[in-house]
Amino acid sequence: MTEKIGAEALSRAAAAIGAGELVAFPTETVYGLGADALNETAVARVFEAKGRPRFNPLIVHVARLEEAMRLGRFSAEARLLAERFWPGPLTLVVPQAAACPVSLLASAGLDSIALRMPAHPLARALIEAAGRPLVGPSANPSGRLSPTTADDVMHGLGGRIALVLDGGPCPVGVESTVVSCLSERPVLLRPGGLPREAIEEALGHSLAAPEPSERPVSPGQLESHYAPTATLRLDAADVRPGEALLAFGAPVPAHAGSMRNLSGRGDLVEAAANLFGMLRQLDAEGTSVIAVMPVPRHGLGEAINDRLARAAAPRPAP
């Protein structure tokens, strides 16, 4: 069931978390699948509900900076980024604190931890009401499109979770930017809702690219991820017979079939917010191929192009 939010819904959600159950909650980026990050069994249930093939590490969501500082060790630059961009769509990977109480499964046995303080008031209210940090992978079956509405969550995970807090559509629409602060120079592990340019401006230098050996650590980097059922044809300048069109800006090429425009006025923020929802809508119409117009690569365009490339990548055998 989905819950319109009042104090009662919030306290029931917090009680479910306390009992080791799963509660989907809105964040500014996408809906998360929340569970008690300190409870090994609850975290195991998250992997089971999502059908994650491997125990990939999860992001731990906190409501306060002091809580993050208790769980992880922040370098000067990590702290600068947290103070500047939290709450917001930025996840920081830092070394775990010595007595970090977070479930081993949540960090997949690594000695690092991914921390994020979401900006969405309902996410923060749930963490506060639960009185503990929450793991929160995107609330979708593994490998599928991330949910940006409560309906999307129910569609993918209904029956496998205790409840969904319905906060309406997620304003950012793509997952958080993941930055690793383990080595001297922070590394961009996953482009996301906070543009690279903003982070580099705050640091006063550029972010490093991940070493090839770091890639498998971040499943957001698996080639096929965020996959609709339809095939995507990227950077399309025209629309071929039988194709649906995912447009960006104007003018839009001639098309006979369905069309959605990520942003008619060419706004990347609006496009990011529409991305997963429009892919779902075109997919639900049963189109076999979606032609996607080129999207600029700056600002949120980096995350949009990253998700489109993954949605277009060959699928692993089921």
Tell me whether residue 100 or residue 262 sits nearer to ligand TXA (CB atom).
100
Tell me whether residue 58 or residue 130 sits nearer to Mg ion (CB atom).
58
Cα 207 to the center of its chain, rounded Å:
20
Tell me whether residue 59 or residue 236 sits nearer to ligand TXA (CB atom).
59
Per partner kind, with CB cut-offs from 5 to 8 A, the member of Mg ion, ligand TXA, none near residue 88 is none
Of 200, 176, 201, 198, which Cα lies nearest the Cα of 186?
200
Label residues 58-73 b or e (16+ Cβ within 10 Å = b). bbbbbbebebbbebbe
3-state SS record for 216-242: HHCHHHCCCCCECCCEEECCCCCCCCC
Tokens 């997963």 locate to 276
- What is the distance between the alpha carbons of residues 192 and 301, in angstroms, rounded to a whole number? 9
Interface residue with ligand TXA among 87, 88, 137, 186 (CB under 6 A) is 137
Report the nearest approach of ligand TXA to the CB of residue 24 (Å): 9
- What is the distance between the alpha carbons of residues 201 and 129, in angstroms, rounded to a whole number? 35
Interface residue with ligand TXA among 138, 148, 263, 274 (CB under 6 A) is 138
Site for ligand TXA in 179-218 (CB under 6 A): 189-190, 217-218
Site for Mg ion in 103-142 (CB under 5 A): 138
Report the nearest approach of ligand TXA to the CB of residue 219 (Å): 5
- Which among 11-19, 22-30, 97-105, 124-132 is the span making contact with ligand TXA, rule CB under 6 A? 22-30
Per partner kind, with CB cut-offs from 5 to 8 A, the member of ligand TXA, Mg ion, none near residue 247 is none
> Can residue 133 be called a binding residue for ligand TXA (CB under 6 A)?
no
Contact pattern from residue 32 through residue 61 relative to ligand TXA, giving x for each residue in contact according to CB under 6 A and a dash for the rest: x-----------------------xxxx--
Report whether 82 contacts 188 (CB < 8 A).
no
Contact pattern from residue 86 through residue 115 relative to ligand TXA, giving x for each residue in contact according to CB under 6 A and a dash for the rest: -----x-x-------------x--x-xxx-
First to last CA, the chain: 29
**Identity of the amino acid at 157:** L
Interface residue with ligand TXA among 219, 228, 277, 301 (CB under 6 A) is 219
Cα 232 to the center of its chain, rounded Å:
20
Report whether 243 contacts 291 (CB < 8 A).
yes
- What is the distance between the alpha carbons of residues 283 and 275, in angstroms, rounded to a whole number? 12
Tell me whether residue 7 or residue 98 sits nearer to ligand TXA (CB atom).
98
Site for ligand TXA in 158-177 (CB under 6 A): 175-176
Q: How far is CA 59 from CA 108, 118, 267, in A?
A: 11, 11, 29
> Can residue 29 be called a binding residue for ligand TXA (CB under 6 A)?
yes
- What is the distance between the alpha carbons of residues 94 and 25, in angstroms, rounded to a whole number? 24
Tell me whether residue 29 or residue 138 sits nearer to Mg ion (CB atom).
138
Contact set with ligand TXA (CB under 6 A):
27, 29-30, 32, 56-59, 91, 93, 107, 110, 112-114, 116, 118, 136-138, 175-176, 178, 189-190, 217-220
Contact set with Mg ion (CB under 5 A):
138
